[in-house]
Amino acid sequence: MTATDPARIPEIAAGVRRAFDSGRTRPIAWRLRQLAALEAMLVEREHELAAALHDDLGKSAAEAFVTELSVVRAEAATARRRLRRWLRPRPVRTGLALAPARAWTRYEPLGAVLIIGPWNYPVQLLLAPLVGALAAGDAAVLKPSELAPVTSALLAELLPNHLDREAIAVVEGGAAETQALLAQRWDRIFYTGGGRVARIVARAAAEHLTPTTLELGGKSPVYVDEGVDLAVAARRIAWGKFTNAGQTCVAPDYVLVAPGARDRLVRELGAAIAELYGPDPLESPDYGRIVSRDHFDRLSALLGDGRIAVGGTSDPEGLRLAPTVLVDVDPASPVMQEEIFGPILPVLVTPGPREAIAFVRARPKPLALYTFTGSRRVRRAFARSTSSGALVHGMTLAHLAIGELPFGGVGESGMGAYHGEASLRTFSHERAEAAKPLRPDTLALVYPPIGRAVMRLLRRLLP
| 344 and 317, same domain (yes or no) | yes
Q: Which of 215, 339, 412, 421 is catalytic?
A: 215
Q: Which of 249, 268, 339, 421 is catalytic?
A: 249
| 178 and 292, same domain (yes or no) | no
| 321 and 283, same domain (yes or no) | yes
pLDDT at residue 1, rounded to an integer: 81
Say if residue 185's pLDDT is above 80: yes
| 164 and 240, same domain (yes or no) | no
- 442, HSE (Cβ side, Cα atoms, 13 Å): 12
In a domain, 42, yes or no: yes
Cα–Cα distance between 57 and 51 in angstroms, integer? 10
State yes or no: is 433 an active-site residue: no
What is the pLDDT confidence band of residue 97, given thresholds at 50, 70 and 90?
confident
Say if residue 460's pLDDT is above 90: no
In a domain, 169, yes or no: yes
Contact 327, 261 (CB under 8 A): no
Number of CB atoms found within 10 A of residue 28's CB: 12
In a domain, 438, yes or no: no
State yes or no: is 421 an active-site residue: no
Q: Which helix (H) or strand (E) holds 257?
A: strand 252-257
| 129 and 142, same domain (yes or no) | yes
| 277 and 392, same domain (yes or no) | yes
Cα–Cα distance between 45 and 64 in angstroms, integer? 12
**Ranges assigned E (strand) in 376-460:** 390-393, 407-408, 414-415, 417-418, 428-435
| 170 and 291, same domain (yes or no) | no
Q: What percent of the chain has pLDDT over 90?
A: 95
Q: What percent of the chain has pLDDT over 70?
A: 100
pLDDT at residue 434, rounded to an integer: 97
Average pLDDT over residues 58-63: 97
Q: What does pTM read for this prediction?
A: 0.96
CATH code (residue 297): 3.40.309.10
Cα–Cα distance between 109 and 426 in angstroms, integer? 10
pLDDT at residue 462, rounded to an integer: 84
Report the candidate in 39, 22, 31 with the shortest Cα–Cα distance to residue 166: 22
Amino acid letter, 155: L
Say if residue 438's pLDDT is above 90: yes
pLDDT in tens, 114-144: 999 999 999 999 999 999 999 999 999 999 9
In a domain, 144, yes or no: yes
Average pLDDT over residues 281-293: 97
| 197 and 340, same domain (yes or no) | no
What is the pLDDT confidence band of residue 238, given thresholds at 50, 70 and 90?
very high
pLDDT in tens, 308-331: 999 999 999 999 999 999 999 999
pLDDT at residue 461, rounded to an integer: 84
| 211 and 283, same domain (yes or no) | no
Report the candidate in 255, 340, 328, 335 with the shortest Cα–Cα distance to residue 290: 340
In a domain, 385, yes or no: yes
Average pLDDT over residues 395-405: 94
pLDDT at residue 68, rounded to an integer: 97
Average pLDDT over residues 406-432: 97
Amino acid letter, 158: L
In a domain, 444, yes or no: no
Contact 146, 126 (CB under 8 A): no
- Name the burial class of residue 214, with classes exposed (0-12), middle (13-18) and buried (19+) by CB atoms within 10 angstroms of its CB: buried
pLDDT at residue 277, rounded to an integer: 97
Residues 6+ apart with CB under 8 A from 237: 222, 224, 252, 255, 269, 272, 345, 370, 372, 396
Average pLDDT over residues 43-57: 98
What mean pLDDT, rounded, does the chain reach?
Answer: 97
Say if residue 463's pLDDT is above 80: no
Q: Provide the residue range defining the domain that includes 404.
A: 220-408
| 69 and 153, same domain (yes or no) | yes
| 175 and 246, same domain (yes or no) | no
Domain count, the chain: 2
Say if residue 159's pLDDT is above 90: yes
CATH code (residue 130): 3.40.605.10
Q: Report the SS3 class of residue 296.
A: helix
Average pLDDT over residues 361-379: 97
Q: Which residues pair with 102 in a beta bridge?
A: 435
pLDDT in tens, 65-92: 999 999 999 999 999 999 999 999 999 9
Average pLDDT over residues 223-241: 97
Strand order in the sheet with 102-109: 90-92, 102-109, 428-435
pLDDT at residue 331, rounded to an integer: 97
| 132 and 248, same domain (yes or no) | no
